[in-house]
Structures are given as structure tokens and as C-alpha cells.
Structure 1
Amino acid sequence: MNIRKHALSTALLVSGALFATGAVQAGDLKPFNATYKATYMGMSGTGKMSLEQTGNRNKVVLSVDALLGSATYSSVFDDNGGNWKLVSSTDHRKFVGKKMLRTGAFDWSKGEARWSGDVKADRQGPIKLQAGDVDPIALDLALVRDVKAGKPLRYRMLESGKAKSMNFTVAGKETVTVGGKSVTATKVVRTDNGDELAVWVADGYPVPVRLRQTDDGAVTDLKLQSVN
């Protein structure tokens, strides 16, 4: 996937979409449970995103179940007075006749990130950590936060032994439907060699109200149904 093997996963849907550039006010993130309607190349599925907190530790999980299999991506980070630091990430996918599991570990005492599991030797790291680094699922919540705050949408994303610049532009306002209700959302877009990642953010929602990725002609679409 050229744009993001993140919040939306390769043939399946999501790996997904917290620690963007700069500090945020402590307490901005609160526990939630969200459900999505997922579509990949015309096939329907269901998606769930949740955030759990234990002390200053946060765990965000994005999972998608579809006809061809399932994908779960988790991201763990510490919130130290508004400064968020990645702790670990997991990318677990199950397809017909195939499984894949990748784990990322972010060691701030050494200032490096490493990956294990189903990762090629030359993609295991280390990569030098930088303040504000995001992982794929972290990117989703970082966009929600920064669009609402009017901040620049520029990030460095770490995934499977690679660091990639992820810069988005605001494409305007659109109306989306969430659980039968019309909602005005800000659409932000990133393009890469003809592929596109679009994310919709709306006031009053802690998660993207829609995510759509076009990758080599294949379209993956997640539409928020409910959140509490």
C-alpha cells in the first residue's frame, strides 16, 4: 500500500488511523467504543475502534471483519503530561489460508524503534525515534485532534521498519451520515502516485467519521455508525 498500511489494511481494510507533532493538553483523549460499516471492493464488513486507559497508558484497537478474513491493529502509548510516546504496536491479519503478525517496540531510552514477527530482516530496524512520531492507527486520532485545532497536518509515520512523511491538505466541507444523522465534516486528503487517502473529521466525534483509501484501483471505505 503506497499511502498507508494503517488505519486501513491491505487487501482487507484497516491496519489503520495520537502522537502527532507537538504536545497536546492532557485529558484530550477519553475512552470510547466506535463501530464502522466497512466496504472493500464491493464486499461488506464491520469495523470497531476502541480506546482504553489505565493510568497514563492508552491502548487503541482497530479491528475489521470481512468475508475474506480479519485485521486487527493496536497501538499503545503513554501520556506524560500531554506528551505522548509510542510504546508498542501490533498488526495482526488473517486471510484465507494465511496469517500475518507484526509487532513494533518503541524504546525511548535507546531512542529507537524495532519490529519483529512477519517482517523482512532489512525491515526490522532500528529506526531512530523522533518526538511526535505516529504509527498507522495513531495517525487517525492525530488527524481528528489537529483538524479540530487548525494545526498543520504533517506527520512522520513509523511502520514495519520504515519512516514516511504523511502530509495532508484540507479539501473542504462535506455532509456525511452517521447512524442516520447528517453531519458536516472536514475532509482532508493525501495523495501518492495516484493513490489517495481521505479522512473526514466532525465536531463532537473523537474518531474519523469516515475513512476512504484508494490503492492501485482498490477502494476501501469505513463509515462511522456509532460511538460512545
Structure 2
Amino acid sequence: MSRISGPLSALTAAVLSLASVSAMAIEPFQAKYQANYLGTQAAGTMTLTQTGDNQWTYNLDIKNVFAQLNQTTVFDITAGRFRPLATDDVLKTLGNKSEALGNTTGVACKQPGRATSQPSKAVRCH
């Protein structure tokens, strides 16, 4: 199994570490998408579910005939901040599968958009 680079993990970490957004403003949701890129159709589903008092799971699933991408991030809300706890990014293409797992130490960034994440390493603020 090969590891994929962490652009999606970095994006998720950045989104979840937005300090300027009130943690109380989030609500569970599900959104479905259809996309067309160079004549190839893809369907996507994004969900946010509450899995505990202060714990949430974000999931993005995109599929088409050639590939499937799944990203799951578990995070909690501590002191009004989003704190990513774990990520799982899986990309399956015809004959290939790549997966990147990440566990964090619960570091919350103070500056929105300044976090990076690497597989199996903690989210780091810059």
C-alpha cells in the first residue's frame, strides 16, 4: 500500500482549525453533488455527523467509474475551537489503492489556514 501526499489532509486541518468561526455554529448535514470533468461524471456526498457530546465526524466520498476518493476526519470542539483527532484518506483507482492515516495530538492552530498535516504525524501550525 502506498501513501498519498496530504493535500486533502492539509485542507481538512485548515478547515477544522478556523479559529474565527464559532464552534457553536456547526450542525449535522448531508450534501450530495454531481460533477463533470472532461466528460467524466462523478457523484459526491459530504456529511457532518455528531458522534459524541463534543465530537464530530466529517466525511467526503466521491465516486466515478474510474476512481473513488474517501476522506474521513474526526474532530472535537475544545474551548470553542475545532481540534482534529484523526484522518483517513483513501484513493482507489483502477488497480490501485492509496491510503493515508493521520492521528493528531489535538493541537489547534490560532491562525486560520496555517495548518499542515502529514500522514501519521500531528497537525502542525506554522
TM-score category, normalised to shorter length: 0.7 to 0.9
Higher strand share: 1
* Match among 134, 159, 162 for residue 117 of structure 2: 159
Partner of 2:65: 67
- Cα distance between partner residues in 1 of 2:31 and 2:57: 14
1:32-181 superposed matches below 5 A? 32-53=29-50, 54-108=52-106, 129=107, 131-132=109-110, 154-160=112-118
Mind listing any 5+ residue stretches in structure 1 that lack a counterpart?
8-14, 109-128, 134-153, 166-228
The alignment's TM-score, normalised by the length of structure 2, stands at 0.74
Partner of 2:3: none
Post-superposition offset of 1:22 = 2.2
Q: Which amino acid aligns with 1:158?
A: T
SS of residue paired to 1:6? helix
Aligned to 1:6: 8
Q: Contact 2:44/2:62 (CA < 8 Å) preserved in 1?
A: yes
Match of 1:116 in 2: none
2: CA distance between counterparts of 1:42 and 1:90? 29
User: Residues 59-113 of structure 1, C-alpha deviation per residue, up to 9 Å, x if partnerless?
Assistant: 10001011212000011111124211110111011110001111011013xxxxx
RMSD between superposed Cα atoms in Å: 2.9
Residues of 1 paired with 2:47 and 2:89: CA distance? 15
CA deviation after TM superposition for structure 1 residue 42, in Å? 2.4
Higher-Rg member (1/2) = 1
**Ranges of 4+ aligned residues in structure 1 off by more than 4 Å:** 161-165
Structure 1 residue 39: Cα displacement: 2.4
Preserved contact between residue 34 and residue 50 of structure 1 (Cα < 8 Å): yes
Greater Cα shift, 28-37 or 74-83: 74-83
Structure 2: 5+ residue runs without aligned partners?
1-5
The Cα shift of 1:130 comes to 5.4
The 3 A distance-change label for structure 1 pair 132 and 94 is farther
TM-score by length of 1: 0.43
Residue identity over aligned pairs, in percent, reads 23
Q: Deviations over 1:23-63 (max 9, x none)?
A: 54332110000001122332101000000102100110001
